[in-house]
């Protein structure tokens, strides 16, 4: 059965380019992103892994660790990492799981056709309580937009701390929406910067942690 948002994600131990990795231990009390790749030495994946390596400081700022996955072997990963570093001008700074027995791929429903051992391009955002907060699945032909993944992380972390939601195309620093469950009286106390009632159900306020 596929994981649903809010489910506790299954733990696992699997070989990786940084040694055996226990997911819960690796993430500790922080956030995590697990993302899968169809296979080693695929061109789109090479650019994706390079992009993630280049975002190391951005993920650290958000207390987030990233883990890649491919069903190929560690020996294959080792050669692929060299190619990634050479072509993308980065140093790989996160582990890639060698999910040769497809244990993790099956736990997280990353293989979606019976006749295909390759994993789809899936993304899982996991919060400090090990709850699944986002899933995204891309076709093999389309590289992921990691700026969007960072945007979602910002939204999740903000809305966990305040009674707000983020509107369409929101970016960190933009105005946010007061939750409909918050009364006007409570909103007056919770949002000292004030809010604009565009409609009774649509109240806009400056981002409270800025």
Query: At 182, which CATH number?
Result: 3.30.1020.10
Out of 92, 109, 144, pick the residue that ends a domain: 144
What is the number of structural domains in the chain? 2
Same-domain check for residues 187 and 84: no
Residues marked active site are found at 45
Same domain, 100 and 176: no
> For the chain, how big is the Rg over CA atoms in Å?
19
Q: Is the pLDDT of residue 4 over 90?
A: yes
Same domain, 103 and 33: yes
Choose among 134, 189, 142, 143: nearest CA to 166.
134
Same-domain pairing of 31 and 95? yes
Q: Is the pLDDT of residue 114 over 70?
A: no
Tell the burial category of 110 from Cβ atoms under 10 Å away from its Cβ (0-12, 13-18, 19+).
buried
Looking at residue 112, its pLDDT comes to: 67
pLDDT of 111 over the 80 cut: no
Buried b (16+ CB within 10 A) or exposed e, 41-59: ebebbbebbbbbbebeebb
pLDDT of residue 82: 97
Spell out where 51-205 has E strands. 64-70, 96-98, 121-126, 132-138, 164-165, 176-178, 196-199, 202-205
Asked if 189 and 87 sit in the same domain, the reply is no
Structural domain of residue 196, as residue ranges? 162-205
pLDDT digits (tens, 9 = 90+) for 138-187: 888 899 999 999 999 999 999 999 999 999 999 999 999 999 999 999 99
Do 55 and 95 lie in one domain? The reply is: yes
119 and 192, same structural domain? no
| CATH number for the domain harbouring residue 111 | 3.40.30.10
C-alpha to C-alpha distance for 158 and 153, rounded to whole angstroms: 8
Q: Does residue 155 form part of some domain? A: no
Convert the pLDDT of each residue in 89-98 to its tens digit: 999 999 999 9
Q: What is the mean pLDDT of residues 54-62?
A: 98
């Amino acid at each position: 059965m596929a994981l649903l948002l809010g489910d506790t994600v299954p733990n696992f131990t699997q070989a990786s380019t940084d040694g055996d990795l226990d997911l819960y231990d690796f993430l500790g009390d922080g956030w995590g992103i697990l993302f899968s790749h169809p296979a080693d030495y695929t061109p789109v994946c090479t650019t994706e892994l390079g992009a993630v390596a280049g975002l190391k400081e951005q993920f650290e700022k958000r207390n987030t660790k990233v883990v890649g996955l491919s069903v190929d072997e560690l020996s294959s990963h080792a050669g692929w990492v060299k190619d990634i570093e050479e072509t993308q001008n980065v140093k790989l700074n996160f582990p890639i799981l060698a999910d040769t027995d497809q244990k993790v791929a099956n736990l997280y429903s990353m293989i979606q056709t019976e006749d295909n051992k390759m994993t789809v391009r899936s993304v899982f955002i996991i919060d400090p309580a090990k709850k699944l907060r986002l899933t995204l699945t891309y076709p093999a032909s389309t590289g992921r937009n990691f700026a969007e993944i960072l945007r979602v992380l910002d939204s999740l972390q903000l809305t966990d701390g305040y009674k707000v939601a983020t509107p369409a195309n929101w970016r960190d620093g933009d105005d946010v929406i007061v939750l409909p469950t918050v009364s006007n009286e409570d909103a007056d106390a919770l949002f000292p910067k004030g809010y604009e009632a565009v409609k009774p159900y649509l109240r806009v306020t400056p981002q409270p942690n800025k």
